[in-house]
Every structure is written in structure tokens, then in C-alpha cells.
Amino acid sequence: MKTTFSALFLAAGIIAIPGPSGAASLMDWGRHVAKAGNGKPGGTACMECHRLDGGGMPSIGAPRISGQPRQYIAREIREVKEGKRYGPVMAGVVQNLSPRDIRAVALYYSRAKSPKLPDVGPSDPALVAEGKHIATRGFWKKNIPACVQCHGPNGYGVPPLFPYIAGQNRTYLLRQLMAYAFLKRQDDPEGLMRGIARRLTMAQRKAVAEYFSSLKPPVRDVP
Amino acid sequence: MVVRRFSRGVLLAVVAVLVLSPVGARGGPLEVMQGSEIFTPPSDSEIPKGPFGDLVRKGERIFTQTGRFARHYVGNDLTCESCHLDRGRKPYAAPLWGAYVLYPRFRSKNHMVNKLDERIQGCFRFSMNGTPPPVTSETMKALIAYSFWMSRGAPVGVKLKGQGMLSLPKPASSPSVLRGKKVYVARCALCHGMHGQGRTSHGGQVFPPVWGKRSYNKGAGLFKVSKLAGFVKMNMPLSKGDTLTDQESWDVAAYVDSQPRPAKPRKRSRS
């Protein structure tokens, strides 16, 4: 085992590109997959949609993923692969990722840094204000706690399984709320997000998406 | 069991929610819990301008960020809101609007106020594992004003629905710590952690600790398994109240209260 590892390490060292197995550090391999795909047929580079720094693409609703908890990123990819998480676009690009590829990209993107990328079109201040109210106070009449009670102050996330939502793009946020409420994103722990998304009205979903997309994303605080 | 208490209209709404949802809904009837029968405290926008309104707002700040605004009196990582959900408004989480009118025989204002003071002091000593603020302190005055405000319009002298915690009927089989642990791992650890330690984000407490040094002590109301079972049944997992069975609520309460936590502070005479 050990000898195989060091042999590979040597080989990788000589040809100086990160190899697919034990050779290169997980981090280097993650970056490689993000940039160029894993080299297998059908492999797509993550950066085509999420950018190399993980800032995402607001114009097509591809989420920012830089700085999300490592465990969360890995979980979402696995769930898409197994058909448990609704991800119509992702489903087409993750099928040939190996468990190690997934660990590698999760590590890489959890450490990547990107500023908030502008959303398409200006935000509506009235919606932002309504969204802020729900985000910080909840809508308990329908048994909806404040979003920040689970997503952390300012929506910065609570690792490992509560993603940050602050600074995420508006299109993606709204799509996810719809997916939890009506479509097949059904793998959320304990059905927490499904319950909440379903109880929000359409106007409220828009408002919270508008609010969280108007915030700055967190600067990562966990190793 | 909760369903029975709803009016027919609300029941229909519940059925509609369950039937219309495309996904098997796990949320129970609590999804529409604050039905018309439950007292609704006045909204924030009605808080008057001036010194009284200021005191009410101050009370709310202390209530929701106790460690920050009443630091000297707090000995753990909880806030008043950790147990009195929705800023002290949520039915079956001992809402403040229910508290204020719980003592109807104390008609004269002073007398009534004194009684509530003592109750609040109790929560500081036991639930917050801290030191009770004196009756004359700004902290106490603000909390009383906040409770008083919230009960505005609540009928006095009748038992209000949603007051206090739910008292759960005795379970079929006596509460089991072992079964409770399974429930805890499956339904609670996601937020409160495997070791009951809670979770933080960017340095702030998000999910409060449910046992250990930074949680409530052995003198607290929730240290009674029956009280905790009623609290859990209606309020936990957060936003999923009324999804555990009665038995599961008793079991998980027995487990949580079997874990280590600070001792009950020794009796002290109060002036």
C-alpha cells in the first residue's frame, strides 16, 4: 500500500500533473477537476458553471459554492449522483465522478474564495425589507422560524450541514425554494427545508431570495 | 390529539395542506398552529413611541440576546428565547402573554408585578444558571414591561389556550433513556450536536446546548422530564413541532435530562 503510494507520488512528481489517485494532494486534484474535469469521458470542468473560484454564474442560476462547508458540498454531489437531490443540470455532469474526485472538489471549493457576483437586474428595496423581516423574525403564524435560526446570523451557515445562503444568487435561491416546495429536492435533513419552503407564499419566497442575495457572502471561519 | 382542539375550518385547512402537498408531508397539524382560537399578542408596529415603548423594546432585546444585554445575570449560553420561542410569543412555549395573566388574583398592579418578578428571577437562577436581577433593576423593569405589553388585550382570569407548556399524558411505557438516545440521534443531534453541546456560527451560538456546563441547571423547569417532554412535543425539532409521538417525546426528554448539567444552586433567602 505504502509503496504503491510513494511510487505514484514519484511518477506524478516527474510528469508534474496531478494524477487521479493517491498521488497529488487532494487539494491539487480538486483544483484540477474544477479546472479541467477528471479526464474521463463526459467529465466536465466545474468552472464552466461555477467558475474556478466558485463564484457561480448568476445569469444561469448556477450557485456560488466557494466557502460552503466541505461536508455539505460533498453531500450534495453524492445525492445528485444517487438521484436523491433534484439537480437537473448537475445530474448531467457528476455521474462519472469517483468518491475521491468528490472529496477533492469539496475540499477545493470549500477553501476557494470569491466576492459576490452581481445579480441580473437591480434588487427591489421593498422586497428586500420584507425578506429581511422573515429572515430575522420568522413567520410564526405559519410555524416558520427566522431563517437565521438555522442558517446562522446573517445567513452565514452553520457547518456542517446548514449551508450559507447570504450572497448566493437570487435566481438560484428562488429556484431552490421552489424545488423544496414543489419539485424533487427531497433529501433535506428531517424535511426541514421542505416544510418551510412549502409554507412560505410565493411573494415571501421572492422576498427572502431577494434579501439573502442582497447580502455579502461570509468569509470562511472554519478549517 | 392536538387536532381535536381545532375548529372545523382549521382542520379542513390542515387536511388541504396535507392532501395538496406533492410530497408526503412530515409536518403535523402544527403547520397551522396559531389558529383563530389562540391569542395573538399585539404586533411590533403597535409599540408606542416614548419611554414606555423604549422600555418594551429594551425588554425584547434582553429577552432575545440575554447574554449580551443582561450579561451579569447570565451563567450559560442560553437566552430567554431559547425556551420561550418566537420572542416569547409562541403558544405552548410558555408565552409571555400567557404568563402575565396567569396570576389573575393579583388585581392590584404592584402585587401582580411582584409575582411575575419572582417567576422571572427563577428562570435566571435555574434556566439561565445565573444570578437573579433585583426587582428594582433596569433589567427586571424592562422584562416586566415587555411581558405586560405582550399581554395587552388578553382576557384575564381564564385559562388561555397555549399558555405554559403542554402537559403530556403519561406514556404507555415508562420513559426509556435508551430509546430516547435513538430519538436524540435521529431527530436532535443535527442541531444540538451528538454531545448536546449545540452549534456556533462565526463565533455566535446558533443552536443552544441542551446539556453540559453551558445549559440549564438541575433546578430548572425543563429538568423535570414531564415538562421537557411537553416542551419537546410541541416545539422540537424546530419548525417540526408535533411530529414526535408522545412516547418519543417522553423518551427523548428522559435521555436529555439523564445527561450531566450544572447542579441546582443552594437555597438562598430572598428579600
| Model confidence pLDDT, tens digit, residues B161-173 | 999 999 999 999 9
B86/A194 Cβ within 8 A: no
Whole-model pTM: value is 0.89
Rounded-to-integer distance, Cα B41 and Cα B34, Å? 11
- Look at chain B and report how many structural domains it folds into: 2
By the 8 A CB rule, do A88 and A108 touch? no
| DSSP secondary structure letter of residue A162 | B
Is the pLDDT confidence value at A200 over 60? Answer: yes
A158 and A183 together in one domain: yes
Across the interface, of B86, B202, B206, the residue whose CB is closest to A218 is B202
Q: Residue A193 has which C-alpha cell? A: 427545508
- Where residue B99 falls among pLDDT bands split at 50, 70, 90? confident
Is the pLDDT confidence value at B187 over 80? Answer: yes
Is the pLDDT confidence value at A6 over 80? Answer: no
Cα pseudo-dihedral B81, B83, B88, B90, rounded to 10 = 130
pLDDT, residue B264, reads 95
Domain containing residue B190: CATH number: 1.10.760.10
Rounded-to-integer distance, Cα A27 and Cα A101, Å? 10
pLDDT, residue B100, reads 79
Is the pLDDT confidence value at B30 over 90? Answer: no
> What angle separates helix B246-257 from helix B225-235, to the nearest 10 degrees?
130
Q: Angle at Cα B155 formed by Cα B151 and Cα B157, nearest 5°?
A: 110
Considering Cα of B254, then A151, then B139, then B147, what sign does the dihedral take?
Answer: negative
Q: Residue B79 has which C-alpha cell? A: 437566552
The mean pLDDT of B216-227, rounded to a whole number, is 97
Across the interface, of A158, A159, A196, the residue whose CB is closest to B239 is A196
Burial class (CB in 10 A: 0-12, 13-18, 19+), B268: exposed
pLDDT, one tens digit per residue, over A68-78 is 999 999 999 99
The whole-angstrom distance between B269's CA and the closest CA on chain A is 38
Establish if A55 belongs to a structural domain: yes
> Cβ contacts (< 8 Å) between B22 and chain A: which residues?
182
Q: Residue B72 has which C-alpha cell? A: 451579569
Give the residue numbers spanning the domain of B235.
177-258
> A68, A140, A150: which to substitute to probe chain B, counting the most B Cβ within 10 Å?
A140
**Domain end (from A78, A111, A144):** A111
Closest CA to B80 of B98, B57, B59, B102: B59
Give B112 or A94, the one with higher predicted confidence: A94
CB contact set of A9 (below 8 Å; sequence gap of 6+): A22, A23
pLDDT, residue B220, reads 96
- Where residue B108 falls among pLDDT bands split at 50, 70, 90? very low
Phi and psi at residue A204, in whole multiples of 5°? -70, -40
- Amino acid identity at B10: V
pLDDT, residue B160, reads 86
Is the pLDDT confidence value at A10 over 70? Answer: no
Domain containing residue A176: CATH number: 1.10.760.10
By the 8 A CB rule, do A179 and A100 touch? no
pLDDT, residue B171, reads 94
List beta partners, residue A144. Answer: A139
Across the interface, of B31, B207, B240, the residue whose CB is closest to A190 is B240
pLDDT, residue A13, reads 38
A194 and A169 together in one domain: yes
Establish if B171 belongs to a structural domain: no
The mean pLDDT of A127-148, rounded to a whole number, is 97
B219 and B182 together in one domain: yes
pLDDT, residue B115, reads 75
Is the pLDDT confidence value at B248 over 90? Answer: yes
Establish if A32 belongs to a structural domain: yes
pLDDT, residue A20, reads 52
B40 and B106 together in one domain: yes
Is B207 at the interface with chain A, CB within 8 A? Answer: yes
pLDDT, residue B36, reads 57
Give the residue numbers spanning the domain of A79.
20-111
pLDDT, one tens digit per residue, over A76-133 is 999 999 999 999 999 999 999 999 999 999 999 999 999 999 999 898 999 999 999 9
B146 and B182 together in one domain: no
Burial class (CB in 10 A: 0-12, 13-18, 19+), B225: buried
Burial class (CB in 10 A: 0-12, 13-18, 19+), B226: middle
By the 8 A CB rule, do B56 and B145 touch? yes
B201/A152 Cβ within 8 A: yes
pLDDT, one tens digit per residue, over B117-152 is 888 999 999 999 999 999 999 999 999 999 999 999
Rounded-to-integer distance, Cα A153 and Cα A164, Å? 10
A83 and A166 together in one domain: no
pLDDT, residue B226, reads 97
Is the pLDDT confidence value at B16 over 90? Answer: no
> Buried b / exposed e across A124-149, counting CB within 10 Å, b at 16+?
eeebbebbbbbbebbbbebbbbbbbb
CB contact set of B115 (below 8 Å; sequence gap of 6+): B103, B106
By the 8 A CB rule, do B199 and A222 touch? no
- Where residue A172 falls among pLDDT bands split at 50, 70, 90? very high
Is the pLDDT confidence value at A3 over 60? Answer: no
pLDDT, residue A43, reads 80
A29 and A106 together in one domain: yes
CB contact set of B159 (below 8 Å; sequence gap of 6+): none
pLDDT, residue A221, reads 53
Is the pLDDT confidence value at B24 over 90? Answer: no
